[in-house]
Amino acid sequence: MGGFPILSVMLLVPLLGAIACLFLDAKPARMVALLATLIDLALGIVLWANYDIGGAQWQFTESAGLFAGFDYALGIDGIALMLIMLSVFLMPICIGASWEAITKRVGEYMAAFLLMEVLMIGVFAAQDIFLFYIFFEAGLIPMYLIIGVWGGQNRIYAAYKFFLYTLLGSVLMLIAMLWMVNEAGTSSIPVLMEYDFAPEAQTWLWLAFFASFAVKMPMWPVHTWLPDAHVQAPTAGSVILAGVLLKLGGYGFIRFSLPMFPDASAEFGWLVWGLSMIAVVVTSLIALVQADMKKLIAYSSVAHMAIVTVGLFAFNVQGLEGAMMIMLGHGLVSGALFLCVGVIYDRLHTREIDRYGGLAINMPAYAALFMLFTMASVGLPGTSNFVGEFLALAGIYQVNSWVAFVCTTGIILGAAYMLYLYRRVVFGIQKNADAAAMPDLSMREYLLLGPIAAAVLWMGVYPESFLAPMRADIEILDTRLATAAPESDAQLAIGEGAPIEEDLSHGGAH
């Protein structure tokens, strides 16, 4: 790409769009927003196409001494590339989902979404720890407005809770960052990733970062903001929240906690495992009894994210790859599920499961797509989530079979609550006349759900496309973690088992 600052342009396009939207009426604002997000998607595809797999660890690097005190430094590795792709892919879909659903203050709404896009890309592309923090924290402002202005009944409570919860989580991280930069003498993330902090210091730093990422992730028991925020946010807000914002936590672990504090990560592995095990079982059971569709999917997100954390803290390649794949897969699938809820919510204006039923009769196309995403969420082979969940669980199984055992129940419980949801909404008799009268998907809705369905299947059938850019980076991380990795509890010689796992994990690819 030569010297073309593609990452800066990807930040600039939605930013200019956001400023323009503030001054525009509803119709042109929608067009500008869609155009800006589509341009960013195109730029993202260019980015992926030009990403040199097996090349330098950090590519498309840019640096400018715009600010004293920290650098305006951007650059991506494979992990960041994939998450940026996820963001730019979901963004036009979010704009499309809000096309008709949002009628008041459209310009400001679109501006808030475009600003979110700037900040999300910025978070993944930042190579300076303070620049990262600014992007990371700034996301609170547009999201607070999106939930509070365009949300549901109880939106104000949800907006406060979202804002204060996440703010409290991240301020301690800032102190930790200040300490690290003071200690290491640089604020560059790539340098800090290779810096060895003293083990005692790592403990404190890890805890400070954990406070932030655990809330963002969200991990049990600090997940309670998520159901509120999800339920109250408008459909597109939920999509972006589940699709990308939750990934900030996982990205934080993989970019900061693990490589910067490997010893402390190993030391606290039991904590993460324990919380994840509780989360998988408890939130799955909670999801089972929800009467509100969005709440059910929100709780299922917490359970899925727990498998991500387990994979991350398995300290091996499978676990890390699996965690990344779940993050990407869950980003697509939960986003799509929220869209599916949005589709029928737009028609009937209720999220209560009991108000629907028998939709397969009057909305067959909708039922088929909803089925696909339900199956993907359950982790059916051939869909994106299967790859990720299998890899993550295979990874943790090598380290601790009990954790793997408990977390695997999450898959079974996941099947239970998702299929139960699907049965009540789509199958059965048409007990509600108004629900039975709903028309099937419109062209716009096909265009929203279709691309996600294609991506979900692609990721399930040929995950290699997504794993290849990340492989080298995950190898580097694995090497970095090797010294600290906890011992396996397996009694057998693991030397023989490992290659088999490796084969299985890429089974879909070959």
Partner 1 sequence: MDYANSFALVLPEIVLALSGLLLLLVAAWGGDKAARLVSIAAAVALGGAFALAAVAVCSGAGGLDTIAFAGQFRADAFAGLAKLMIYAASGAALIVAPRFFERAGAMRAEFPVLVLFATLGMSIMVSAADLMTLYIGLELNSLAAYVLAAILRDDERSSEAGLKYFVLGGLASGILLFGMSLIYGFTGTTNFAGIAVAVSDGLSPGQLFGLTFVLAGLAFKISAAPFHMWTPDVYEGAPTPVTMFFASAPKVAAIVLLARVSLEAFGTQDDAWRQIVIFAALLSIVIGALGAIGQQNVKRLLAYSSINNVGFILIGLAAGTQAGASAMMVYLAIYVVMTIGSFVAVLLMRDANGNQVENVSDLAGLSTTRPVLAWCLLALMFSLAGIPPLFGFWGKFVVFQAVVEADLLALAAIGIAASVIGAFYYIKIVKIMFFDEAGDTVRGAGDTPHWSLLAICALLVSPLGYLLIGPLGNLADMAAASLAVAF
* Cβ–Cβ < 8 Å for 90, 34: no
Decide whether 88 or 112 has the Cβ nearer to partner 1.
Answer: 112
* Contact flag: residue 416 with partner 1 (CB under 8 A): no
Decide whether 72 or 420 has the Cβ nearer to partner 1.
Answer: 72
Of 67, 270, 402, 405, which lies in the binding site for partner 1, with binding defined by CB under 8 A? Answer: 67
Beta bridge partners of 74: 62, 126
Beta bridge partners of 126: 74
* Gap between the Cα atoms of 38 and 22, Å rounded: 19
* Cβ–Cβ < 8 Å for 46, 10: no
* Contact flag: residue 25 with partner 1 (CB under 8 A): no
Of 26-34, 133-141, 244-252, 461-469, which segment contacts partner 1 by CB under 8 A? 133-141
Decide whether 130 or 417 has the Cβ nearer to partner 1.
Answer: 130
Of 145, 340, 341, 391, which lies in the binding site for partner 1, with binding defined by CB under 8 A? Answer: 145
Of 171, 365, 437, 482, which lies in the binding site for partner 1, with binding defined by CB under 8 A? Answer: 171
User: What tokens were used for 181?
Assistant: 């930069």
CB atoms within 10 A of CB 49: 8
Of 66, 429, 443, 493, which lies in the binding site for partner 1, with binding defined by CB under 8 A? Answer: 66
* DSSP state at residue 254: I
Those residues with Cβ within 8 angstroms of residue 309's Cβ, 6 or more apart along the chain or in another chain:
217, 219, 250, 253, 272, 275, 276, 323
Of 130, 256, 373, 417, which lies in the binding site for partner 1, with binding defined by CB under 8 A? Answer: 130
* Contact flag: residue 124 with partner 1 (CB under 8 A): no
* Gap between the Cα atoms of 184 and 180, Å rounded: 6
* Contact flag: residue 371 with partner 1 (CB under 8 A): no
* Contact flag: residue 26 with partner 1 (CB under 8 A): no
Of 53-61, 64-72, 276-284, 500-508, which segment contacts partner 1 by CB under 8 A? 64-72
Decide whether 9 or 504 has the Cβ nearer to partner 1.
Answer: 9
User: What tokens were used for 430?
Assistant: 């048409």
* Gap between the Cα atoms of 363 and 358, Å rounded: 9
* Gap between the Cα atoms of 402 and 461, Å rounded: 29
Least Å distance, CB 164 to partner 1, is: 6
Decide whether 163 or 422 has the Cβ nearer to partner 1.
Answer: 163
Of 26, 167, 361, 419, which lies in the binding site for partner 1, with binding defined by CB under 8 A? Answer: 167
* Contact flag: residue 419 with partner 1 (CB under 8 A): no
* Gap between the Cα atoms of 231 and 238, Å rounded: 8
* Contact flag: residue 480 with partner 1 (CB under 8 A): no
Least Å distance, CB 107 to partner 1, is: 10
Decide whether 174 or 278 has the Cβ nearer to partner 1.
Answer: 174
Of 26, 38, 46, 178, which lies in the binding site for partner 1, with binding defined by CB under 8 A? Answer: 178
* Contact flag: residue 69 with partner 1 (CB under 8 A): yes
CB atoms within 10 A of CB 390: 22
Nearest Cα to Cα of residue 213 among 155, 284, 275: 275
* Gap between the Cα atoms of 365 and 2, Å rounded: 46
* Contact flag: residue 179 with partner 1 (CB under 8 A): yes
Decide whether 208 or 305 has the Cβ nearer to partner 1.
Answer: 208
- Cα separations in angstroms, 72 against 64, 65, 125, 185: 5, 6, 11, 17
Quickly list H helices, 126-242: 129-138, 140-150, 155-184, 189-194, 199-216, 225-232, 235-240
* Contact flag: residue 156 with partner 1 (CB under 8 A): yes
Decide whether 133 or 373 has the Cβ nearer to partner 1.
Answer: 133
Least Å distance, CB 111 to partner 1, is: 10
Of 51, 89, 124, 133, which lies in the binding site for partner 1, with binding defined by CB under 8 A? Answer: 133
What sign does the CA torsion over 346, 351, 354, 360 have? positive
Binding positions for partner 1, 98-117, rule CB under 8 A: 105, 108
Of 45, 164, 454, 494, which lies in the binding site for partner 1, with binding defined by CB under 8 A? Answer: 164
User: What tokens were used for 380?
Assistant: 């059916």
* Gap between the Cα atoms of 103 and 383, Å rounded: 35
Those residues with Cβ within 8 angstroms of residue 17's Cβ, 6 or more apart along the chain or in another chain:
32, 33, 35, 36, 37, 110, 114
Amino acid at the residue 210: F
* DSSP state at residue 154: T
Q: How many residues interact with partner 1 (rule CB under 8 A)? A: 33
User: What tokens were used for 52?
Assistant: 């040199």
* Contact flag: residue 141 with partner 1 (CB under 8 A): yes
Least Å distance, CB 178 to partner 1, is: 4
Of 176-184, 280-288, 315-323, 331-339, which segment contacts partner 1 by CB under 8 A? 176-184
* Contact flag: residue 168 with partner 1 (CB under 8 A): yes
Of 18, 73, 97, 159, which lies in the binding site for partner 1, with binding defined by CB under 8 A? Answer: 159
CB atoms within 10 A of CB 3: 5
Give the interface with partner 1 as residue ranges (CB under 8 A). Answer: 66-69, 105, 108, 130, 133-135, 137-138, 140-141, 144-145, 148-149, 155-156, 159-160, 163-164, 167-168, 171-172, 174-175, 178-179, 182
